[in-house]
Amino acid sequence: MTEQAWTPTSWRNHPAGQQPDWPDPGAFDAVVKHLSTLPPLVFAGEARSLREQLAQVARGQAFLLQAGDCAESFEAFRADAIRDKLKVILQMAVVLTYSAGVPVVKVGRIAGQFAKPRSSASESVDGVELPAFRGHIVNDIAFTAAARTPDPSRLEQAYHQSASTLNLLRAFTKGGFADLAQVHQWNQDFVRASPEGDRYEGIANEIERALRFMHACGIDGANQPGLHEVDFYTSHEALILGYEEALTRRDSLTGDFYDTSAHMVWVGERTRELDGAHIEFLSGIRNPIGAKIGPTATATDVVALCDRLDPDREPGRLTLITRMGSERVADLLPPLLEAVDASGHLPVWACDPMHGNTFTTADGHKTRRFDDIEAEIAGFFAAHRSVGTWPGGVHVELTGDAVTECLGGADDISAADLPERYETMCDPRLNGRQSLDLAFRVGELLH
């Protein structure tokens, strides 16, 4: 293919995997056209701030916490669920900030995380074959022909739900809800109620002492906005390229193109072919971008991906999110770290300990073991330590709700507990308490 200049539509000249089969392509085009007239969801300047903060992560001066839903739902769309998800992420961030001793950059998988890549385009039940569920931005999960038919009007609903979610997140994070003293108080409550409380008390008490010391020195939320408000960014997998194209706008300040659907977008493990449409699209937007890196990626693949997505070798531009599986991370990750380091690129390296550790139980529940999740993170830290690179962050699927989707954690959820509150539409998420368990365990690894 001859090199053509990048435009928000140039992805259309490349093979695009994982796109729905819209029954009426004209209706899809009309929705994309309409979306392109609607206001941006985020501003270019905010995406630039995130890029600068991620540059700090790349240089080993900050840590990334990227967390949120596997797939947001049009039905489970409630203020309290958004608040509780944010609350858990803020709580985790306080533990990680203290343990890592560096700022934690907080990025939600939220306000746009609707589209799901699928291993098969269709699903068969009792001899009936229907299109696979691809997330609420495309179709519905019920196994009927009507529900599974891709409906482009869902793109507009996703846009509007993202806008209201962002509005609430902005209010919560700038309106006092994120006050450090309050978040610490929630953590104290968690530690008191946890079966592993004794184990976590050490870190919690140290944070308590640090806060008292700061208070005694006259530093508190009343006079320090940094203790009272947080910067919280949004992200999702840029999967449905028509949607992303519609929200890509030229920044009036710099003349550069930004995808204003989120501060950061990433390309998934299934759509990261170098000459594919997703990589073409991401290569031209100036947002910070991510790429999932699974066990099949070779060192050559990853360096080529860096060259394509970050030709200027700009720290903060590219986050490589590795998801190898707890058993393979020790073998597979070091050669990638060495090769990228030798190439002169300085990406953020983040560990997704979820997607390489999924399995299905005998009774058909897709799940993950807390211990495997923790082990992959430990392996990720060890690999970086051995190579001399910075383990920049973690990327997890979670909810604030008390769901029973992943096994283990301090409350020791068993396979028999899974049906009790199994609510995910796609992958199993850590519940609120498991998420905090994980933050304290990662805190121990960092401390």
Binding site for ligand PEP (CB under 6 A): 70, 117, 237, 268-270, 292, 323, 355, 427
User: What does each C-alpha distance from 377 to 202, 207, 259, 443, 445 come to in angstroms?
Assistant: 21, 23, 30, 11, 9
- In angstroms, the CA 219 to CA 377 distance is 34
- Smallest distance, ligand PEP to C-beta of residue 117, A: 5
Does 70 interact with Co ion (rule: CB under 5 A)? Answer: yes
- Smallest distance, ligand PEP to C-beta of residue 352, A: 6
Given candidates 427, 434, 435, 443, which one binds Co ion under the rule CB under 5 A? 427
- Smallest distance, Co ion to C-beta of residue 56, A: 27
Does 110 interact with Co ion (rule: CB under 5 A)? Answer: no
Contact 68, 435 (CB under 8 A): no
Q: Residue 68 carries which DSSP code? A: E
- Smallest distance, ligand PEP to C-beta of residue 17, A: 11
Nearest residue (CB) to Co ion, 35 versus 329? 329
- Cα three-residue angle 269-90-324, rounded to 5 degrees: 25
- Cα three-residue angle 80-86-88, rounded to 5 degrees: 105
In angstroms and rounded to an integer, the radius of gyration of the C-alpha atoms of the chain is 21
The two structure tokens encoding residue 39: 């206001």
Residue given tokens 């659907």 in the structure block: 261
- Partner in contact with 292, chosen from Co ion, ligand PEP, none, beta carbon below 5 to 8 Å by kind: ligand PEP
- Smallest distance, ligand PEP to C-beta of residue 70, A: 5
**What φ, ψ does residue 39 adopt, rounded to 5°?**
-65, 155
Contacts for 90 with CB less than 8 Å, ≥ 6 apart? 106, 178, 183, 230
- Cα three-residue angle 169-173-177, rounded to 5 degrees: 110
- Name the residue number minimizing CB distance to ligand PEP: 268
Nearest residue (CB) to ligand PEP, 355 versus 441? 355
Does 396 interact with Co ion (rule: CB under 5 A)? Answer: no
Which range touches Co ion (CB under 5 A), out of 48-56, 212-220, 302-310, 421-429? Answer: 421-429
Nearest residue (CB) to ligand PEP, 85 versus 323? 323
- Smallest distance, ligand PEP to C-beta of residue 121, A: 15
Does 115 interact with Co ion (rule: CB under 5 A)? Answer: no
- Partner in contact with 268, chosen from ligand PEP, Co ion, none, beta carbon below 5 to 8 Å by kind: ligand PEP
Does 405 interact with Co ion (rule: CB under 5 A)? Answer: no
- Smallest distance, ligand PEP to C-beta of residue 323, A: 5
- In angstroms, the CA 321 to CA 350 distance is 5
Does 72 interact with Co ion (rule: CB under 5 A)? Answer: no
- In angstroms, the CA 243 to CA 224 distance is 39
Question: Could you tell me if residue 343 is left (phi over 0), alpha (psi between -120 and 50 degrees) or otherwise beta?
Answer: alpha
For 109, what's the count of Cα atoms within 13 Å in the CB-facing half-sphere? 26
Nearest residue (CB) to Co ion, 12 versus 118? 118
- Partner in contact with 372, chosen from Co ion, ligand PEP, none, beta carbon below 5 to 8 Å by kind: none
User: Which stretches of the chain bind Co ion, using CB under 5 A?
Assistant: 70, 427
